[in-house]
Structure 1
Amino acid sequence: MTQSAESFNKAAIRKIKKNLLGVASFLLICLAAFITIFAYFFSGDKVKNANQQNVIIAHQPMGFKQLLLEIPLDNYTKTNSISDFFFGKDIETEQVAIDSYKIEADSVSYIPYLGQGLTGELTKISLKEWTDKGIPKSEVENDFIYKKKFIFGTDAYGRDFYSRLVIGTRISFLIGFIAVFISLFVGIPIGAIGGYYRGKVDDFIMWLINVVWSIPTLLLVIAITLAIGKGFWQIFIAVGLTMWVEVARVVRGQFISYREREFVEAARALGFSDLRIIFKEILPNILAPVIVISAANFAAAILVESGLSFLGIGAQPPTPSWGNLIKENYSHIIIGEAHLALFPGIAIMLLVLAFNVFGNVLRDAFDVK
């Protein structure tokens, strides 16, 4: 049995490798997962939620470069913790856009940047702003004055849009992962019990499924969100609790078709418990449709979260998600900054497509028939 299962798995993996579109989809999903974990490594703005604002450089085009001066605040810390690497740092510096600068014996002189064609007045700031916080004078020019390139330009608050887009991957990917986990955790046992035992238990489960099924998904998520509150984790739970129905229906239908098969009758005759028959005998044979519905739910969860964030019910500002990035910037399409709304939309489209394609590839590869 072990050798047979191993051979089946190897054959399935060979089928997946031969499907170039499936491999490309898998690589895109892996890239999204990698960016989700190490978002702040790829981000140009290491502040939490890439929320370093500088309104002087708002609405700048892609590829915009600007000389910046960072003045440490009272909460400045020289070292970075592991938490900072994964979740971003608090705002510890005041960021000033400048045209030119000069470091003198005890001060830094600079001319602030005020926009195209505008020149600010010469400003001086004491080097004590740095040295009092343990920063040597020699490090000021190397670490606190630099030219930054904004790959995708800046938004209405002067934030690095590329960094916001990268960190937004975390919300959109995690919402799918957690929603699918909740839907499987709830839907598989409910569907299995209904399909295996039938009778009144199945009637009650089907009544519950039909009631939940009759409520539009978006409205149900909105209702759950309003009941448990808005926030990061609340939206994950709300979306997950609405997607167990599809899993339960598919699992129930598969269990009904398998419960009378010969190998199930043989298991009963050997005295195996119902729990073993459900989870050890039947469930492994219905993984193909469960994988497909899980991939579809993953894609649907991303779309639902994006819709909720666009409506202002999902992830709350300043936390970036692809949905609220579209909400914040859709009006910029008519003022020559269409990429601020199009790029998050393209990211949503590509990730949803990748999950749907890869789900179909897995179904074909692992179909026991």
Structure 2
Amino acid sequence: MEQQSRSFNQIAIQKIKKNPLGIVSLSLILLAALVTIFAYFISADKVIDANQQNVILAHKPMGFQQKILEIPLDHYTRNNSLSDYFFGKPIETEQIAIDSYSIKGENISYIPYLGDGLKGEPVEISTNEWTSKGINLSEIEQEFIYDKTFLLGTDAYGRDFYSRLVIGTRISFLIGFIAVFISLIVGIPIGAIGGYYRGKVDDVIMWVINVVWSIPTLLLVIAITLALGKGFWQIFVAVGLTMWVEVARVVRGQFISYREKEFVEAARALGFSDMRIIFKEILPNILAPVIVISAANFAAAILVESGLSFLGIGAQPPTPSWGNLIKENYSHIIVGDAHLALLPGLAIMLLVLAFNVFGNVLRDAFDVK
């Protein structure tokens, strides 16, 4: 039996490898996963939520370059911890856009950038702002005065939009992962118990499923979110608690068809407990349809989160997600800087399409017929 199962899995993997759309969609999903993990390695702005603001640089075009002077704040620390590279670091410097600068003795004189066609008055600042933090004079020009390139321009607050888009991947990808995980934890036991025991237990479970199923998903998520509060984890839990119904229905249907199989009858004859039969005998045989429905739920969770963030119920600013990036910038589609809204929309479309396509590929690969 184990050898036959292994052969079946190998055949399914070969089918996926031979499907170009399957490979492309899987590559996009893996790329999103890597960006999720290493977001702060990839982003240009290492500050938490890429929230380093410089209003004077608002709405700059793609590829814009600007000389930046960084002045360390009182809580500045030179050494970055490992967590800073995965979760970002707090704002430790004040970033000033400048046109030019010169170092005169113990002072730095700079002309602030005020915008195209405008010229600022010279400003002097003591080098003690750096040296008091243990920074040598030679390091000031090397590390704290530099040309910064904004690959995708800036938003209304002068934040690096490329970094916001990259870090926003985390919310959109993790919402799918965590929502699917919650739906499996809730849906598999409920569907398994209903399909295996049948009778009144199944009737009660089906009544609950039908009640939850009859409520529109978006309205149910909004209700749960309002009950739990707005926030990062609340939206994850809310979306997950609305997706268990589909998993439970699929698992229940599979258990109904498997509960009368010969190997299940043999397990009962050997005196195996119901829990062992459910989770060790039947459940491993129905994983294929569960995987397929999970891929579809992953895509649905991303869309639901994006819609909630657009409505202002999802991840709250300044935390970036693709949904609230669209909300913040959708008006620019008409007045200019359309890429600020179109790029996160395109990212949502590609990731959702990748999961839907990959779900169809999995369905075909695991189809025993």
TM-score normalized with structure 1 length: 0.98
1:298 deviates by 0.5
Whole-angstrom distance in 1 between the partners of 2:214 and 2:260: 30
Q: Is the 8 A contact 1:182 1:244 kept in 2?
A: yes
Whole-angstrom distance in 2 between the partners of 1:104 and 1:128: 13
The one-letter amino acid paired with 1:342 is L
Whole-angstrom distance in 2 between the partners of 1:69 and 1:213: 56
Whole-angstrom distance in 2 between the partners of 1:3 and 1:241: 37
1:199 deviates by 0.4
Residue 299 of structure 2 corresponds to 299
Whole-angstrom distance in 2 between the partners of 1:272 and 1:23: 41
Whole-angstrom distance in 2 between the partners of 1:286 and 1:368: 12
Residue 39 of structure 1 corresponds to 39
Whole-angstrom distance in 1 between the partners of 2:177 and 2:142: 41
Give runs of aligned pairs for residues 48-87 of structure 1, distance below 5 A.
48-87=48-87
Whole-angstrom distance in 2 between the partners of 1:361 and 1:273: 36
Residue 268 of structure 2 corresponds to 268
Residue 248 of structure 1 corresponds to 248
Whole-angstrom distance in 1 between the partners of 2:226 and 2:101: 51
Residues matched between the structures, number: 369
CA deviations 1:264-291 (Å, max 9, x no partner) are 2222223222212212222222222211
- SS of the residue corresponding to residue 278 of structure 1 reads helix
The one-letter amino acid paired with 2:344 is P
Residue 325 of structure 1 corresponds to 325
Residue 193 of structure 2 corresponds to 193
Residue 219 of structure 1 corresponds to 219
CA deviations 1:214-242 (Å, max 9, x no partner) are 11111111111111111111110011011
The one-letter amino acid paired with 1:309 is S
- SS of the residue corresponding to residue 243 of structure 1 reads helix
Residue 258 of structure 2 corresponds to 258
Residue 364 of structure 1 corresponds to 364
CA deviations 1:58-97 (Å, max 9, x no partner) are 0111111111100111111000001111111100111100
The one-letter amino acid paired with 1:220 is L
Q: Is the 8 A contact 1:171 1:321 kept in 2?
A: yes
The one-letter amino acid paired with 1:85 is Y
Whole-angstrom distance in 2 between the partners of 1:354 and 1:271: 45
Gaps of at least 5 residues in structure 2 are none
Cα distance change on mapping 1:242 and 1:327 into 2, 3 Å = same
Whole-angstrom distance in 2 between the partners of 1:160 and 1:220: 35
- SS of the residue corresponding to residue 110 of structure 2 reads strand
Q: Is the 8 A contact 1:102 1:109 kept in 2?
A: yes
- SS of the residue corresponding to residue 59 of structure 1 reads coil
The one-letter amino acid paired with 1:208 is V
Q: Is the 8 A contact 1:177 1:298 kept in 2?
A: yes
Whole-angstrom distance in 1 between the partners of 2:106 and 2:38: 39
Q: What is the percent sequence identity of the aligned residues?
A: 82
Residue 343 of structure 2 corresponds to 343
Whole-angstrom distance in 1 between the partners of 2:255 and 2:65: 60
Whole-angstrom distance in 2 between the partners of 1:307 and 1:167: 18
Whole-angstrom distance in 2 between the partners of 1:68 and 1:57: 11
CA deviations 1:133-177 (Å, max 9, x no partner) are 100000000100010110100000000000000000001000000
Residue 238 of structure 1 corresponds to 238
> Is the counterpart of residue 207 in structure 1 residue 222 in structure 2?
no
Q: Is the 8 A contact 1:69 1:145 kept in 2?
A: yes
Whole-angstrom distance in 1 between the partners of 2:69 and 2:94: 8
- SS of the residue corresponding to residue 117 of structure 1 reads coil
Residue 133 of structure 1 corresponds to 133
The one-letter amino acid paired with 1:325 is L
Residue 281 of structure 2 corresponds to 281
Q: Is the 8 A contact 1:54 1:157 kept in 2?
A: yes
The one-letter amino acid paired with 1:161 is F
The one-letter amino acid paired with 2:355 is F
Superposed CA RMSD:
1.0
Whole-angstrom distance in 2 between the partners of 1:327 and 1:59: 16
Q: Is the 8 A contact 1:285 1:368 kept in 2?
A: no
1:368 deviates by 3.8
TM-score normalized with structure 2 length: 0.98
Residue 145 of structure 1 corresponds to 145
